[in-house]
């Protein structure tokens, strides 16, 4: 209570810009890097933070530490600053919402296994339809998307769902079946279709940790323990690498359906569909429940819906969770 009275008494002595600079330094733990991300010179940023500290008569950062650390009072100020800055941003969002304006900056996070296939399908269409929108796109893991949505650093994300997070709203866009890529001379290569029961986790080339698609594949298999019998350990973030290794006979792999469309004819001959209903991932547009840029959310969703409806339309599928087994 004492701290909040302290903030109330000094509130008129601070500016939103100063609080944004504080949040930037707290995030990057470096004045120079924070200034670069704030698009100001380092002396300007440092001077404004010093002014704020003088007005409040406290030290927010311990500058003797490398990297820079927050003081105890600094930690409390940063938590309150996040709320104040986010609320100030919401004012313009409320006005735009009321006017029905579709424009301004919109930050979108996309998971790596969706970015290369979905983004080229809708980006050009969206930017032409909504020229007043400045779309800022970042490739992020699911955990990073959730964290940045919660912190207000991005407005929405494209990720595999369900995520079972009460703070996150999920708007499903499409269901994408898994497809097996099975090299010649593999034990399953003579099968026209494959079943989940036939999968052996130690026989599947997987993406590196942090990719939700890896967790989905592990969830798909009846045994989740990975015994490395291949004689090598792989940590790849690329489906292209998995495809090349599979072609060399080093194991089978599973691909999302959209990743199979651009394969050459030789590689397509090694594809095997699952028996019905095929395992699939649900890809959704997600955003925080406090998000106010709903005009933009709907515009983005409608654009993607219109594009993917003609490219991928599967409904009789079995959704596989992207969450790691506990």
Same domain, 38 and 163: no
- Report the residue count for the chain: 326
Same domain, 159 and 289: yes
- Kindly state whether residue 326 falls inside one of the protein's structural domains: no
Same domain, 294 and 156: yes
CA distances from 85 to 80, 128, 153, 221 (A): 9, 31, 11, 45
pLDDT for res 228:
52
* Whether 88 contacts 16, CB under 8 Å: yes
d(CA 171, CA 282) in angstroms, rounded, equals 10
Nearest to 308 by CA among 278, 276, 285: 285
Same domain, 161 and 223: no
Same domain, 123 and 263: no
Give the range of the structural domain holding residue 76, as residue numbers without chain letter: 2-96
Q: What is the average pLDDT score of the chain?
A: 85
Start-to-end CA distance of the chain, whole Å, equals 39
pLDDT for res 89:
74
Q: For 16-31, how does the pLDDT look when each residue is reduced to its tens digit (9 = 90+)? A: 999 999 999 999 999 9
Nearest to 211 by CA among 122, 93, 127, 112: 112
Q: How many domains does the chain have?
A: 3
268, 273, 279, 282 alpha-carbon torsion, rounded to 10° = 40
pLDDT for res 129:
92
Element (H, E) at 24: helix 16-28
Pick out the chain residues at pLDDT < 50.
2-3, 6, 11-12, 224-225, 231
Same domain, 68 and 157: no
- Kindly state whether residue 324 falls inside one of the protein's structural domains: no
Same domain, 196 and 271: yes
Q: Looking at residue 208, what DSSP letter applies?
A: P
What is the token pair recorded at 9?
A: 């008494």
pLDDT for res 213:
77
């Amino acid at each position: 209570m004492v701290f909040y009275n302290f903030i109330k008494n000094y509130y008129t002595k601070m500016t939103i810009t100063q609080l944004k600079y504080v949040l930037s330094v707290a995030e990057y733990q470096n004045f120079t890097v924070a200034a670069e991300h704030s698009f100001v010179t380092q002396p300007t940023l440092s001077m404004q933070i010093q002014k704020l500290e003088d007005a409040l008569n406290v030290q927010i950062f311990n500058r003797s530490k490398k990297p820079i650390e927050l003081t105890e009072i600094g930690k409390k100020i940063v938590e309150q600053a996040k709320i104040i800055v986010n609320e100030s941003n919401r004012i313009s969002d409320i006005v735009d919402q009321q006017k029905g304006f579709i424009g301004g900056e919109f930050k979108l996070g996309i998971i790596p296994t969706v970015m290369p296939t979905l983004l080229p399908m809708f980006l050009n269409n969206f930017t032409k339809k909504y020229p007043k929108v400045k779309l800022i796109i970042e490739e992020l893991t699911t955990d990073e998307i959730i964290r940045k949505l919660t912190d207000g650093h991005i407005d929405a994300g494209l990720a595999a769902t369900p995520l079972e997070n009460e703070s996150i709203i999920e708007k499903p866009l499409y269901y994408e079946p898994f497809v097996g890529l099975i090299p010649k001379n593999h034990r399953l290569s003579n099968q026209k279709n494959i079943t989940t029961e036939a999968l052996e986790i130690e026989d599947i080339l997987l993406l590196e940790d942090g990719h939700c698609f890896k967790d989905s594949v592990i969830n798909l298999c009846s045994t989740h323990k990975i015994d490395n019998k291949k004689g090598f350990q792989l940590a790849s973030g690329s489906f292209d690498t998995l495809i090349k290794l599979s072609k060399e006979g080093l194991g089978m792999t599973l691909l999302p359906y959209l990743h199979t469309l651009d394969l050459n004819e030789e590689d397509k001959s090694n594809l095997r569909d699952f028996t019905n209903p095929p395992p699939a991932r649900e890809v959704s547009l997600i955003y925080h429940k406090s998000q106010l840029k709903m005009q933009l959310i709907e515009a983005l969703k409608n654009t993607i819906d219109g594009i993917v409806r003609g490219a991928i339309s599967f409904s009789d599928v079995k959704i596989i969770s992207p969450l790691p087994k506990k």
